[in-house]
Amino acid sequence: MTTIITAAGLVGTSFAQQAVRRGEKVVFIDPIPREDFIRARLGNAEFVQIRDDIRNIAGLIQAIDMHEADTLVHSAALIGKSVGNPIHNGYAINIGGTLNAAEAARLTGLKRVVHISTFGVYDWRRITENPVPETAPLGQGTAYSNSKVSQEMIWEAYQADAGFELLMLRLGNVFGMGHFWGGSGGGQKVQDLVMAGITGEPARIPEEQTMDFVYLYSKDTGRAIDLAATIEAPKEIQFNVAYPFVTSFDELVETIRGHLPDLKVEIVPGTPPVNRAIPLDIERAENVLGWKPEFSLSDAFADYIADAKAQMGR
């Protein structure tokens, strides 16, 4: 069994941690050398990294054929405001890259695709239902949200045409030891808070990142993706995967401070935060995937901090 993972980021490597434990061969496709980061995440496990870009369809097809892959985990995407800066480049990666991945899946006869989506697909302007189900309105009009909705629609159309198995996971804001090259402001914020608590330096957090938010620990993320890659294909294809509650910025800080009492935080004035204070309904993930968070928020940070200290040699 071999899985191609587009992008060697926090999400892709979190899945790879699970996959290599059950003997899966994992092949990362990423345009930037990530061997040190992947090695820190996977330890001595074997992996392949191909330095290539999701916009290169020939390279995708070659990688799938060369490694005889049967599964694709598509996690390559820009996140948040980086999609609109500039929007043409963001859409070339998010939409053009997904179109390439879908066409490669069709041409090579891949068995299964797990697409990494986001709770950002929902149109928070129109949602009042609590908790938010997978049937809620989509597309809030931003470059990021609309690009992620477009990705889902591309995959759904290609699945109908090519017949591969498809599952799409709408993740909460994933936190854990990452590099956040793709633009996850939420993930970077959490890492800045953790690192500040360890080093004693104050964390300088932009005001716009002090919103209430829906989070998800990376190790619970990896387990959800692994289930999506391995269970018998269900009829449902979209799944909310997150903590089923909203966490305020103050609650986030106090949870981390419970493990790192010396954490100091400075808020950098700027754009006021936009709150999405509605939890996600994760019942479908529980009933169909057999997934729910194993880490409490506090336990997740205890584990995260241990990982961070280990990588820092502390």
Question: How does pLDDT run across 19-59, given as a tens digit for each residue?
Answer: 999 999 999 999 999 999 999 999 999 999 999 999 999 99
The structure tokens listed for 165 are 């198995």
Residue 111 CB partners (closer than 8 Å, separation 6+): 70, 71, 164, 165
Q: What is the mean pLDDT of the chain?
A: 96
Q: Which of 81, 78, 251 is nearest to 180 (CA)?
A: 78
Amino acid identity at 171 = L
Mean pLDDT across 101-116: 98
**Structural domains in the chain?**
2-175+215-242+283-289 (3.40.50.720), 185-212+245-277+294-312 (3.90.25)
Q: List, for residues 256-292, the tens digit of each pLDDT value.
A: 999 999 999 999 999 999 877 799 999 999 999 999 9
Beta bridge partners of 247: 213
Are the CB atoms for 217 and 304 separated by under 8 Å? Answer: yes
Interaxial angle between packed helices 97-108 and 57-66, expressed in degrees from 0 to 180 and rounded to the nearest 10: 40
- Residue 256 Cα distances to 49, 192, 209, 251, angstroms: 34, 11, 16, 9
